[in-house]
A and B are shown apart, each in its own frame.
Chain A
């Protein structure tokens, strides 16, 4: 079959290309229903990556957050019409120690490999996660983002010491919101503090025990552990502030992407015996954990529904530009694409 693939040719320029798609006996064919724009997609679209990166990665289909419908399954794993989320990480090898999302050999859809802006997506069944009815399709479209949080929290669980009276989340954007919610439901006895810069955005975190403006912190504040969900130029002041107020031997999860090197107060990292660990992307297991968590806590799905701020029906490439423009102007929430192209 000839598949239409909607590629970003250069910043702000989409074009449709055609690629042959071979439906072999080990594959499942899905049709995207809703997709969601991630900051990483927006950086490619706006040309906010280095010229070298753009030259190397483009042309490429964007978007790695998607929910779709099974239309043909040669493996007999899924029924036609079942709702599934595709995992954008495609491992090329098995490793008993290193998670598939950290293997340098793994492919990632929408970074060096085509994302999900396509007529049809072909996957092996192990890369598809069933979505139960209680999760709305709009929320399911950004399961990948939720799985990034469940992945970071799973890593935290494995390595952080057990005193978890106060967990701090730095960042009042989407990743901070989702990570804080995942922590809220996974550690109901812990106090969750949010640290941000925009009062309006901080007010959305009504489920948290406290919210703080990073410029006006009380003198006696401290946290046992912290999740940094800031990224960009804000990474450096955020991580250094965490280092200042975290209790000794606390763990810091670094989740924000920065294009630049970040200078850290290593003296205090040493003195306090702080553990910093990086967390990026997620594995198929993390997707399943995210779906299980949402199935178990219905109100979590309601909170995630707050994030769906704009649904753009995409019927043509013009609509695709409209969706990215709408998303670029948004300072909170997710832009969801209804895929009718």
Chain B
């Protein structure tokens, strides 16, 4: 059984330009989050699309989805936690409470603000997670990555051909993700902000899935400008 977990961020509590989380910004004729959720909604392999939302925005997210996609029991909006990992754990808790947690439950986790995800990336995540237990969507690094431990001088320059930039989806066997996370110390939990990092830390293999350069994350106003430029005004119908 495969679940999509859409990670919607933002903690602001007021409407208005500076406080509105990016997933509610309009792209074309719909909010970004609606474009993203639709991509998973139209894939029948997903049992449920679990949209994780900050507490304040749960009702608003529900309204947005219902208004644009319609009433459906395949999409549920669930309250997130205070960190990305806690939010992820809340999604697993939802699955556990409603379906039970076993080795046949998989989660495809994706940022709400990456609406350019393609059918192929989703399909390859589903395939890889079922075969290997965990996978991460990446693109080869085009810029040289420079490491600096003190933020002042370079401590290392890793070989570029071995470097990749992480995107989402990140996909996992749900039970394994929960078990590994719960085995971490509080200090490790604080340090490990990336779910794939949790697997790597525990020497669990994470398979690479080829992403796309345009699978961008809309975080800053600049990104929204790029996204709007990418999206042609012509509609595809």
How far does the alpha carbon of A80 sit from the alpha carbon of B74 in the complex, in Å? 14
Task: Count residues of chain A with CB under 8 A from any CB of chain B.
Answer: 28
Interface string of A66-100 (1 = CB under 8 A from B): 00000110000000110000000000000000000
Q: Which of A20-28, A164-172, A211-219 contacts its partner?
A: A20-28
A20 touches B42 (CB 8 A): no
Residue pair B115, A2 in contact (C-beta under 8 Å): yes
Any B CB within 8 A of the CB of A264 = no
Report which of A1, A5, A114 forms a contact with B39, defined as CB distance below 8 A. Answer: A1
Check A20 against B231 for contact (C-beta < 8 Å). Answer: yes
- 1/0 per residue, CB under 8 A from B, across A13-38: the answer is 00011111111000101010000000
Is A311 engaged at the interface, CB distance under 8 Å to the other chain?
no
Q: Say yes or no: B116 contacts A71, CB within 8 Å.
A: no
A20 pairs with B235, CB closer than 8 A: yes
What are the residues of chain A within 8 A of B120 when measuring CB–CB?
A: 119, 315, 340-341
- Looking at chain B's contact residues, is the secondary structure mostly helix, strand, loop, or mixed? mixed
Assess whether A236 is interfacial by the CB under 8 Å rule. no
Measured between beta carbons, the chain B residues less than 8 angstroms from A17 are 230, 232
Contact A18 B119 (CB under 8 A): no
The interface residues of chain A lying within 8 Å CB-to-CB of B237 are: 21-22, 27, 122
Most buried by A among B39, B43, B118: B118
Would you give the 0/1 interface string for B11-41, flagging 1 where the beta carbon is closer than 8 Å to chain A? 0000000000000000111100001001101
Partner of A20, one of B39, B118, B214, B236: B236
Question: Are B28 and A4 in touch, CB under 8 angstroms?
Answer: no
Say yes or no: is A118 at the interface (Cβ < 8 Å to chain B).
Answer: yes
Question: Contact between A19 and B119 (Cβ–Cβ < 8 Å)?
Answer: no
Which residues of B lie under 8 Å from residue A119 when comparing CB positions? 118-120
Indicate with 1 or 0, residue by residue over A251-274, a CB within 8 angstroms of chain B CB atoms: 000000000000000000000000
Counting CB contacts under 8 A, is B234 at the interface?
A: yes
Residues A29 and B232 in contact, CB atoms below 8 Å apart? no
| Cα A71 to Cα B38 with chains together (Å) | 12
Nearest-CB distance from B213 to chain A (Å)? 10
* Contact of A19 with B43 in the complex, beta carbons under 8 Å: no
Q: Give per-residue flags for B102-119: 1 if the beta carbon is below 8 A from chain A beta carbons, else 0.
A: 000000000000011011
B44 touches A (CB below 8 Å): yes
What's the minimum C-beta distance from A122 to chain B, rounded to whole angstroms? 5
* Distance of A16 Cα from B116 Cα, bound (Å): 11
Contact B236 A29 (CB under 8 A): no
Distance in Å: Cβ of B2 to nearest Cβ of chain A: 15
Q: Please report the C-alpha to C-alpha distance between residue A148 and residue B119 in the assembled complex, in whole angstroms.
A: 31
Closest beta carbon of chain B to A7's beta carbon, Å: 10
Q: Considering residues A16, A20, A80, A118, which has the most beta carbons from chain B within 10 angstroms of its beta carbon?
A: A20
Knowing A2-B28, A2-B115, A4-B118, say if A122 contacts B236 (CB, 8 Å): yes
> Do A3 and B236 touch (CB < 8 A)?
yes
Q: B119: which A residues are within 8 A, CB to CB? A: 4, 31, 119-120, 341
Complexed CA–CA distance, A18 and B230 (Å): 6
In contact, B39 and A18 (Cβ under 8 angstroms): no
Q: Mark A101-122, 1 if CB is under 8 A from B, else 0.
A: 0000000000000100011101
> Which residues of chain B are within 8 angstroms of A80 by Cβ–Cβ distance?
44
CB pair A19 B214 closer than 8 Å: no
Smallest Cβ-Cβ distance to B123: which chain A residue: A340
A5 CB contacts on chain B under 8 angstroms: 236
- Complex-state Cα separation, A114 to B115, whole angstroms: 22
CA distance A22 to B42 in the complex (A): 12
**Residues on A with beta carbons closer than 8 Å to the beta carbon of B231:** 2, 18-20
Quick check: A114 and B118 within 8 Å, CB to CB? no
Q: Which residues of B contact A122 (CB under 8 A)?
A: 236-237
Chain A residues with Cβ below 8 Å from B38 are 1, 23
A120-B42 contact in complex given A18-B230, A27-B237, A341-B118, C-beta closer than 8 Å: yes
Residues of A within 8 Å of B116, CB to CB, are 2, 4, 18
Query: Chain B nearest CB: distance from A64 CB in Å?
Result: 15
A1 CA to B235 CA in the complex, in Å? 10
Among A4, A72, A114, contact of B42 (Cβ-Cβ < 8 Å): A72
Question: Which of A1, A5, A122, A341 has most B Cβ within 10 Å?
Answer: A1
User: What is B's interface to A at a CB cutoff of 8 Å?
Assistant: 27-30, 35, 38-39, 41-44, 115-116, 118-120, 123, 214, 230-232, 234-237
A19-B236, A119-B120, A341-B118 given. 12 additional CB < 8 A pairs?
A: A1-B35, A2-B27, A2-B39, A4-B116, A5-B236, A18-B214, A18-B232, A19-B234, A22-B237, A31-B119, A71-B42, A122-B237
6 CB < 8 A contacts A-B = A2-B115, A17-B232, A20-B28, A23-B38, A119-B120, A340-B120
